[in-house]
Amino acid sequence: MSGFDPDRFSRLDSPLHNWEARTRLISLFILIISIVIAGDIIHALAGLAISILLVLISGLPLSQAVAFMKWPFIFLLPMLLILPITTSVEPYLDFGLLKISQEGLNLGLLFMIRGLAAAFSALIIMGTAPFNVNINSLSSLGMPSSLAQIFLFTYRYVFLLYDELQTMKRSLDSKGFEMRSNVRSAGILATAIAMLLIRSYERSEDVFNAMLSRGYEGRLPSIQRQNICLIDLFKGALICAAAVVIHFI
């Protein structure tokens, strides 16, 4: 039994968790698009406020959500730092040797806020339904079946890979292996990773045999179909309205 569980928040109970997957995906994608095309900081802040409000409604732990934001923040930080000193549009804030463009600062802040708001919305998509439900919904919305299968199998077997990595690490530890910055350590690590790849290849053959033995002919059947109710459409309309309102504040 694996302790690795990225779907742990998908089992919460909230109006966003109870929402039919396809309408939820489409509505939140519209919100994300609306956020990323926001033209100024005020509109982007409105988008950020709506995204945070949705996180609160979803019941996802805010501390975890904020902790997750460090990754998009790190990714966006260079823009916030570089744009103010590379944009050559007046007026400047003059700090002696350092001249900061007001326009560049605004642009950097806009990118940062838009990025964080979009990441919060993406977090809601990932945190309010299991990964497979999202992928199956995307598949029923037109994503190519082969792509959906790649995502689903990757997701299914990443847990086994994680377990095998842990086993291999324990095995290395038990034999007194300590990671050092030398050629020997690199060689041992490379061998271990190569072994994992070989095992993955062998497993993929076994899994394919198991699929064939149960009549697989290229398509994955799905029995997780959920009907769209009026309340789902109402929730969708609310999110779409919020996506429009952002631009009229």
Partner 1 sequence: MINREDIAIEVDDLSYSYPDGTLALDEVNFSLKRGESMALLGPNGAGKSTLLLHLNGLLRGAGKVRIWNKEVSEENLRWVRGQVGMVFQDPDDQLFMSTLAEDVAFGPANMGLPEEQVRERVEWALQSVGLAGLSGKVPHHLSFGQRKRAAFATVLSMKPSIMVLDEPTSNLDPQSKLEMVCLIREQQRNGAAIVTATHDVNLVALLADRVLLLDKRVMAEGTVPEIMSQRDLMDDLGLEMPIIADLFQSMKEEGLYSGAIPFKRDEAMEAIRAMLRM
Q: Which residues lie near partner 1 (CB under 8 A)?
A: 1-2, 5, 7, 130-132, 152-153, 155-157, 159-160, 203, 206-207, 209-217, 220-224
CB nearer partner 1, residue 68 or residue 157: 157
CB nearer partner 1, residue 10 or residue 51: 10
Q: How far is the CB of 153 from partner 1 (least distance, A)?
A: 7
Q: Which long-range contacts (CB under 8 A, 24 or more apart) does 161-169 make?
A: 161/196, 161/200, 162/2, 162/4, 163/2, 163/4, 164/196, 164/199, 165/196, 168/192, 168/195, 168/196
β-partners of residue 99 are: 94
The tokens 């823009």 sit on which residue?
79
CB nearer partner 1, residue 185 or residue 222: 222
Q: How far is the CB of 5 from partner 1 (least distance, A)?
A: 7
CB nearer partner 1, residue 192 or residue 220: 220
DSSP 112: H
Phi, psi of 101 (to 5 degrees): -80, 130
Reduced to 3 states (helix: H, G, I; strand: E, B; else coil), residue 95 is strand
Q: How far is the CB of 159 from partner 1 (least distance, A)?
A: 4
> In whole angstroms, what is the distance from residue 1 CA to residue 6 CA?
14
As given in the structure block, the two tokens for residue 93 are 């804030």
Q: How far is the CB of 222 from partner 1 (least distance, A)?
A: 7
Q: How far is the CB of 1 from partner 1 (least distance, A)?
A: 6
CB nearer partner 1, residue 89 or residue 160: 160
